[in-house]
Amino acid sequence: MSQASEETREHWSGSLAFVLAAVGSAVGLGNVWKFPYITGMHGGGAFVLVYLGCIALVGLPILMAEMVVGRRSQAGPVGAFRSLAAPDRGGKLWSIWGYFAILTGFLLLSFYSVVGGWTVAYALKSVFGQFASGTPSEIKAMFGAYSGDPVSSTMSHAIFMVVTIGVVYSGVSKGIERAARTLMPLFFLLLIFLLGYATATTGFGEAMNFMFQPNFSDLTAAGILEALGHSFFTLSLGMGAVIIYGSYLPKDSTLYGSAIAIGFFDTFVALTAGVVIFTIVFSQGMAPGSGPSLVFETMPVLFSQIPYGSLLSTAFFTLLAFAALTSGISLLEVVVSFFVEEFDMDRHLAALSLGGAIFFFGLLSVLSNSLLADFKPFGATIFGNLDYFISNWALPLGGFGVAVFAGWGVDRDEWWDEMKDDWFGRTAFRGWLFLTRVVAPLAIILILMNLMGFLSLEA
Ligand code: PFF
């Protein structure tokens, strides 16, 4: 193994660059596509409140745990688990959890890139005004036609992977940091532009009520667990992305401050995207609970019916594509940095070969909507199986591993030594440790027990 020392390892230029890159990883399809539709399905306000609680009590402590694991070890998940674990508390066996994270990153990017490709295609379709005319059913049908066409969906998956590979190929500061510095501010500008549009639209008040007026009779136990599970996905937890980004943190950066900033921006984007989308949905008198097709079927129909629809739809899908791209970059970085650190592989070669392998593996997901649509092991397509297994099992399990590792597998003094100079002090440290040791693992056990059917919760 060759583990770069702190001096030779590439680092972010400072805390701000790290926060931008980590926000880039966190803010993605999870915020703009998934959060609004699950909020719609679970009835709005009360679900949002529970989600905020999950982010604060489970998401943020694990985010901090991943950051500190990365910064302390100056290594990716495998090296980090191996080097930090106390010998009498599992020792090197912990690195198995690191390998699991690398595999999760590989598999997650293979289908994330397919959806990322759709957003690129939809941004281009909007530029060419393809949603400007046509009946609602014609516009809706465009999604099935696009995702069901093996050639075009392979092309968009390829475009998404080529750009992702290009950024990771260029390295931490010249590639990832630069992409985050350019794309994230643009992303926020587009989001504010869409929010501005929403405030001037009739459905805005109704959307605000829907999102922020809790009605607890709409909340189900299944909704609570969905909120908890989503807090992992949305903060990019449980598969080493934050560990590797944390490992590029200079020692003098603030961990608490960065974690709070990342949690804040990620939540801000999810809530704003929800408000924008529901404003448009309500202004057209539609129901909010249409599910996963909300972004690719409902939104284009709505854009076709409103003034400046093509412009808004271009802004919306470009924003989604940027968000997906900066998340895809962090997924590829987990896999690439593993081969660079553990096998001394050249970064360029690693980015090209592993990115290429993910592209080819991803074809199974691309074709799940066309040539392989009838191939359904375990009752779902390959794409469906991967999405289900990774989002519901692998990320919570990975998060559980990090929480137990940071809470119990490493000596407490090691953490205190790493965090004592942070100006939040000893009380914040104790609070973090308690949440990481007790609250987060218990919450994850609840999710997993629910999945195994011990707690059969109605939807
Ligand atoms: N956080 C991303 C999103 O919300 O879309 C998804 C993701 C990216 C999950 C990177 C995990 C990860 F490591």
Residues, the chain, total? 459
Compute the mean pLDDT over every residue in the chain, rounded to the nearest whole number: 92
Query: Given this model, what pLDDT does residue 297 score?
Result: 85
* Ligand 1 mutation target, pool 113, 232, 234, most atoms within 8 A of CB: 234
Atom of ligand 1 lying closest to residue 105 CA: 13
- The residue whose C-alpha atom lies closest to atom 12 belonging to ligand 1 is 236
- Nearest-CA neighbor of 303 among 6, 222, 294, 239? 294
Structural domain includes residue 229: yes
Give the residue, by CA position, lying nearest to ligand 1 atom 7. Answer: 236
Cα separation of 253 and 212, whole Å?
34
118 lines ligand 1 (CB under 6 A): no
Residue 315 CA to residue 294 CA, distance in Å, equals 17
Q: Are 390 and 107 in contact (CB under 8 A)?
A: yes
Distance CA 26, CA 330 (A): 9
Ligand 1 centroid from CA 28, angstroms: 6
Q: What is the CATH number of the domain that holds 123?
A: 1.20.1740.10
Specify whether the CB–CB gap between 223 and 47 falls below 8 A. Answer: yes
pTM attached to this predicted model: 0.93
**Is residue 60 a contact partner of residue 68, using CB atoms and an 8 Å limit?**
no
Give the helix ranges, DSSP H, for 284-380: 298-305, 309-343, 347-366
Q: Does some domain include residue 457?
A: no
In order, the DSSP letters of 426-440 are HHHHHHHHHIIIIIH
Q: Does the CB atom of residue 326 touch ligand 1 within 6 A?
A: no
Residue 456 falls inside a structural domain = no
For residue 233, the ligand 1 atom closest to its alpha carbon is 9
- Residue 227 CA to its chain's centroid (Å): 14
Residue 156 Cβ contacting ligand 1 at under 6 Å: no
**Tokens representing residue 311 in the block:** 């412009």
Predicted confidence at residue 92, as pLDDT, reads 84
30 CB under 6 A from ligand 1? yes
What's the angle, vertex CA 334, arms to CA 75 and CA 239, rounded to 5? 95
According to the model, what pLDDT value does residue 3 have? 45
Question: For position 2, what pLDDT does the model report?
Answer: 40
Domain of residue 187 covers: 3-451
User: Which residue among 327, 331, 337 has the greatest number of ligand 1 atoms within 8 angstroms of its CB, and so is best to mutate?
Assistant: 327
321 neighbors 327 (Cβ within 8 angstroms): no
CA of 112 to the centre of ligand 1 (A): 9
Could you tell me if residue 189 is inside a domain?
yes
Distance from the CA of 217 to the center of ligand 1, in angstroms?
A: 31
Please state, in angstroms and rounded to a whole number, the distance separating the CA atoms of residues 410 and 415. 8
Residue 459 inside a domain? The answer is: no
Decide if 458 is inside a domain: no
Q: What is the DSSP letter of 204?
A: H
Q: What pLDDT, on a 0 to 100 scale, did the predictor assign at position 283?
A: 87
- Confirm whether 64 is domain-assigned: yes
233 Cβ contact list (under 8 Å, min separation 6): 30, 34, 391, 395
Cβ(391) – ligand 1 distance below 6 Å: no
Sign of CA dihedral 83, 84, 87, 89: negative
**What is the greatest pairwise CA distance in the chain?**
67
Low-confidence ranges of the chain (pLDDT < 70): 1-7, 456-459
Distance 33 CA to ligand 1 centre (A): 12
Q: What is the 8-class DSSP label of residue 367? A: G
Number of domains in the chain: 1
Is residue 10 in some structural domain? yes
Looking at residue 452, its pLDDT comes to 82
Distance from residue 340's CA to the centre of ligand 1 (Å) = 22
pLDDT of residue 4: 47
Give the residue among 43, 62, 53, 61 at the shortest CA–CA distance from 432.
61
What confidence score (pLDDT) does residue 454 get?
75
Q: Looking at residue 7, what is its pLDDT?
A: 60
In this structure, how many other beta carbons lie within 10 angstroms of the beta carbon of residue 449? 12
In this prediction, residue 458 carries a pLDDT of 55
Residue 234 beta carbon below 6 angstroms from any ligand 1 atom: yes
Tell the residue nearest (CA) to atom 13 of ligand 1: 236
C-alpha to C-alpha distance for 117 and 182, rounded to whole angstroms: 20
- 320: Cβ below 6 Å to ligand 1? no
Q: Is 29 in the pocket of ligand 1 (CB under 6 A)?
A: yes
Strand, helix or coil for residue 209: helix
Check if 239 has its Cβ closer than 6 Å to any atom of ligand 1.
yes
Q: How far is the CA of 25 from the centre of ligand 1 (A)?
A: 6
